[in-house]
Chain A
Amino acid sequence: MVAGRGSALAIDIGGTFTDLAAIDPSGRLVLAKTDTTPRGLEEGVLAAVETSGLAVEDVTAFVHGTTVVINAITERRGARTALVTTRGFRDVLEIGRANRPDLYNLAYAKPEPFVPRRLRFELTERMSYRGDVLVPLVEHELDVVIAALRELSVEAVAICLLHAWANPDHEHRVAQLLEKSLPDVQIVASHEVSGEWREFERSNTAVLSAFVKPIVSAYLSGLRNRLRGAGIEAPLYAMHSSGGVCSFERALAAPITLLESGPVAGVSAAAALGRRLGVGNVLTLDIGGTTAKASAIRGGRVRISTLHHIARTPTSAGYPLQTPVVDIVEIGAGGGSIAWTDEAGALHVGPRSAGAEPGPACYGRGGEEPTVTDANLVAGRLDTDYFLGGAMPLDPDAGTAALGRLGRTLGVDAVTAARGVLRYAVAQMARALRLVTVRRGLDPRDFTFVAYGGAGPLHAAALARELGVARTVIPPAPAHFSAFGMLLGDFRADAVRTHVGPLDPVALAAALARLEDEAAAELDEEAGARSVERFAQLRYVGQEHTLEVPLDPGEVSEDLLRRLRRDFDAASDEAYAFSLPDAAVEVVGLRVSVAASPDAVGWVHESPVTHGAFRARDVDFDQHGGIRRADVIGRDELEPGVSRDGPCVIEEPATTVLVLPGQRVLGDELGNLVIEEAS
Chain B
Amino acid sequence: MDVLREGFHAVTDEMFVSLQRTSQSPVIYEVLDFAVGITDASGQLVSQGNGIAGFLGPIGEAVREAIERFPDLGPGDVVLTNDPYAGAGSHLSDAAMIRPIFHAGEPIAFAGAKGHWTEVGGKDPGSWTADSVEVYQEGLQLPFVRVYRGGRLDPDLVAVIRANSRLPDMTFGDLTAFAACLEVAERRVLELCERYGPATVAEAMRLVHERSERLARAAIARLPRGVFEAEDAIDDDGVGNGPFPIRVRVEIAEDRVVADFTGTHPQVEGPVNCTRSGLVSGVRTVFKAISDPYEPASDAWFRPFEIVCPPGTIFTAQRPAPVALYFEATEAATDLVWKALAPVLPEVLTAGSFVSVCATSVACTHPDTGEPTLLVEPQAGGWGANARKDGEHALVSVGDGETFVIPVEVCEQRYGVRVERFGFDVVEGAGAGRRRGGRGLVREYRILSDRGSLTVGFGRHRFPPWGVSGGHDGSPNYVEVVRADGSTTGRFGKVARLPLAKGDLVRLVTGTGGGFGDPHDREPELVAADLADEIVTEGEARDVYGYAI
Contacts and interface: CB of A to CB of B under 8 A. Distances in A.
B180 A98 contact: no
A199 B422 CA distance: 11
28 contacts: A88-B421, A88-B423, A89-B408, A90-B423, A95-B441, A98-B394, A99-B401, A100-B401, A101-B402, A104-B294, A105-B289, A107-B350, A107-B386, A108-B392, A118-B533, A134-B418, A199-B408, A439-B14, A439-B17, A540-B24, A540-B173, A544-B30, A545-B20, A545-B21, A577-B180, A578-B22, A580-B173, A583-B173
A91 B424 contact: yes
Nearest to B388: A107
Contact of B394 (A91, A116, A128, A575): A91
Contacts of A428: 6
Interface residues of A, number: 66
B46 interface: no
A98 B380 contact: yes
Given A98-B380, A438-B14, A91 B404 contact: no
A315 B349 CA distance: 17
Interface in A106-151: 106-110, 116-118, 128-130, 134
A419 to B, nearest CB: 12
Contacts of B348: 106-107
A89 B422 contact: yes
Interface centre among B214, B402, B444 (most CB of A within 10 A): B402
Contacts of A128: 412
A165 interface: yes
A431 B17 CA distance: 15
Interface in B1-43: 2-3, 5-6, 10, 13-14, 17-18, 20-24, 26, 29-30
Interface in B385-413: 386, 388-389, 392-396, 398, 400-405, 407-410, 412-413
Contacts of B422: 88-89, 91-92, 95
A543 B286 CA distance: 33
Interface in B167-187: 169-170, 173, 176-177, 180, 183-184
Nearest to B177: A578
B543 interface: no
Interface stretch (A31-39, A339-347, A596-604): A339-347
A585 to B, nearest CB: 13
Interface residues of B, number: 78
A434 B338 CA distance: 39
Contacts of B23: 543
Contacts of A172: none
B402 A99 contact: yes
Q: Lowest 6 CB-CB distances: which A-B pairs, in order?
A: A98-B380, A104-B293, A117-B533, A91-B423, A88-B421, A97-B404
Contacts of B410: 197-198
Given A95-B393, A104-B289, A347-B2, A542 B173 contact: yes
Contacts of B180: 576-578
A473 B285 CA distance: 48
Given A94-B393, A439-B17, A427 B288 contact: no
B412 A129 contact: yes
B408 A100 contact: no
A100 B368 contact: no
A104 B170 CA distance: 31
Given A95-B394, A107-B389, A344-B211, A544 B293 contact: no
A495 interface: no
Contact of A577 (B18, B444, B535): B18
Given A90-B423, A92-B408, A545 B29 contact: yes
Given A92-B422, A100-B403, A107-B388, 9 more contacts: A88-B444, A103-B53, A110-B395, A117-B535, A343-B218, A344-B214, A542-B170, A545-B21, A577-B180
A163 B5 CA distance: 46
Contacts of B285: 104
A409 to B, nearest CB: 14
A199 B408 CA distance: 7
Interface centre among A88, A424, A500 (most CB of B within 10 A): A88
A298 interface: no
A128 to B, nearest CB: 7
B22 A576 contact: yes
B204 to A, nearest CB: 12
B215 interface: yes
A491 interface: no
A346 B2 contact: yes
Given A99-B396, A346-B211, A543 B29 contact: yes
Contacts of A163: 409, 412
